[in-house]
């Protein structure tokens, strides 16, 4: 009995959250459903970043690039090549993100620490530079600073998605990807990553090819960021350079830090907090949004170092012990 009670307390909140997410379209209006679709997509994107930052100890600062590469690939295929089949466009977008991660990882993992951060930042800006080019054939392909639109909700096996059903598609994709990431973090491979984060020299002495581990993690990060990019471009119908560059990568870091690094699920919380705040605040004072974002960030760093999720878990446990 005691064990069952403990389990209920442990997983209760997660169950309630899952239930709310599952039934959301039944009672919430469309703008809220749309907000939660975005929260799930960015939650997945930030989780893929957490695998690198929190679990492997790699300060990757160009992570939005993989998100953008998948989104742009799909938009280009649909808009310029007329490839509207979900089963062709979506895998192509994700594969391009993985391919980019394979290449970028080879370059970036030649260095570590702050230099790794700078190289990934530079490579993210490289992708930004490419999609931001407004002239020539490249500009025609990507739409330059105007971005690329005209993507509608996908049609899968004869079923045309709409905002509410696409929310469920996103939700299901999120659950599958999040579970995969969760399994990875507690697998032998995942603990290998954490061992490398804690002490790379000891890991090497024990037989771990630390470079290969980091490289595989980098590619897995690119894969799930690509899946998030795929979900996003179908949801948003539009991708612009702002979704790719340093601003976007910085925002992901913000979500990660506010939610809590190395916690995986904190990423969803960080995404939820930031995007919900943005949703309400930018309705009142769009021009003050960056200021408010800055204040939130400073507040979390000063009072809740380690992120909100560990704080909430502590609070919950203390409440339950009473």
- Residues lying near other proteins in the complex (CB under 8 A) are found at 183-184, 186-192, 194-195, 198-199, 201-210
Cα–Cα dist 200/213, whole Å: 11
When the beta carbons of 137 and 207 are compared against other proteins, the nearer one is: 207
| Residue 145 CB, nearest approach to other proteins (Å) | 40
Q: Could you tell me which of 216, 229, 239, 217 has the C-alpha nearest to residue 91?
A: 229
Cα–Cα dist 21/69, whole Å: 28
Contact by Cβ (8 Å): 272, 39 = yes
| DSSP assignment letter at 145 | G
| Residue 17 CB, nearest approach to other proteins (Å) | 23
| Residue 13 CB, nearest approach to other proteins (Å) | 22
3-state secondary structure of 133: coil
When the beta carbons of 202 and 305 are compared against other proteins, the nearer one is: 202
Strands (E), the chain: 155-156, 159-160
When the beta carbons of 287 and 321 are compared against other proteins, the nearer one is: 321
Cα–Cα dist 42/37, whole Å: 9
When the beta carbons of 210 and 240 are compared against other proteins, the nearer one is: 210
| Residue 261 CB, nearest approach to other proteins (Å) | 12
When the beta carbons of 170 and 185 are compared against other proteins, the nearer one is: 185
| Residue 289 CB, nearest approach to other proteins (Å) | 36
When the beta carbons of 208 and 289 are compared against other proteins, the nearer one is: 208
When the beta carbons of 54 and 144 are compared against other proteins, the nearer one is: 54
To which residue do tokens 């930004």 refer? 128
Cα–Cα dist 130/72, whole Å: 11
| Residue 23 CB, nearest approach to other proteins (Å) | 30
Cα–Cα dist 26/268, whole Å: 22
Q: Could you tell me which of 115, 43, 19 has the C-alpha nearest to residue 260?
A: 43
Cα–Cα dist 252/47, whole Å: 10
| Residue 180 CB, nearest approach to other proteins (Å) | 8
> Which two tokens mark 183?
């399994």
Cα–Cα dist 70/79, whole Å: 14
| Residue 202 CB, nearest approach to other proteins (Å) | 5
Cα–Cα dist 75/234, whole Å: 9
| DSSP assignment letter at 239 | B
Cα–Cα dist 158/200, whole Å: 50
When the beta carbons of 89 and 98 are compared against other proteins, the nearer one is: 98
When the beta carbons of 190 and 307 are compared against other proteins, the nearer one is: 190
| Residue 201 CB, nearest approach to other proteins (Å) | 6
User: Taken in order 277, 280, 281, 282, is the CA torsion positive or negative?
Assistant: positive
């Amino acid at each position: 009995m005691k064990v069952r009670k403990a389990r209920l307390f442990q997983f209760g909140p997660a169950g309630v959250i899952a239930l709310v997410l599952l039934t959301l379209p039944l009672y919430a209006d469309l703008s809220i459903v749309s907000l939660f679709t975005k929260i799930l997509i960015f939650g997945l994107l930030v989780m893929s970043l957490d695998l690198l930052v929190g679990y492997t100890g790699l300060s990757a600062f160009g992570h939005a690039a993989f998100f953008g590469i998948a989104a742009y690939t799909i938009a280009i295929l649909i808009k310029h090549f007329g490839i509207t089949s979900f089963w062709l466009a979506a895998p192509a977008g994700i594969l391009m993100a993985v391919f980019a991660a394979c290449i970028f990882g080879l370059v970036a993992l030649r260095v570590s620490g702050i230099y790794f951060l700078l190289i990934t930042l530079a490579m993210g800006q490289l992708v930004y530079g490419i999609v931001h080019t407004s002239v020539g054939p490249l500009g025609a392909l990507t739409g330059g600073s105007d971005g690329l639109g005209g993507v509608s909700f996908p049609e899968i096996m004869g079923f045309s998605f709409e905002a509410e059903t696409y929310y469920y598609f996103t939700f299901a994709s999120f659950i599958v990807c999040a579970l995969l990431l969760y399994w990875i973090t507690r697998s032998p491979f995942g603990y290998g990553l954490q061992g490398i984060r804690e002490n790379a020299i000891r890991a090497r002495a024990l037989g771990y090819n630390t470079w290969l581990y980091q490289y595989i993690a980098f590619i897995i990060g690119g894969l799930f960021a690509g899946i998030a990019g795929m979900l996003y471009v179908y949801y948003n119908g539009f991708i612009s350079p702002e979704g790719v560059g340093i601003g976007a990568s910085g925002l992901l870091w913000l979500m990660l830090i506010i939610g809590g690094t190395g916690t995986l699920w904190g990423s969803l919380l960080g995404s939820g907090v930031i995007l919900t705040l943005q949703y309400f605040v930018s309705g009142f004072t769009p021009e003050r949004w960056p200021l408010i974002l800055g204040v939130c960030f400073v507040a979390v760093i000063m009072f809740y170092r380690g992120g909100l999720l560990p704080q909430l878990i502590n609070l919950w446990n203390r409440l339950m012990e009473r």
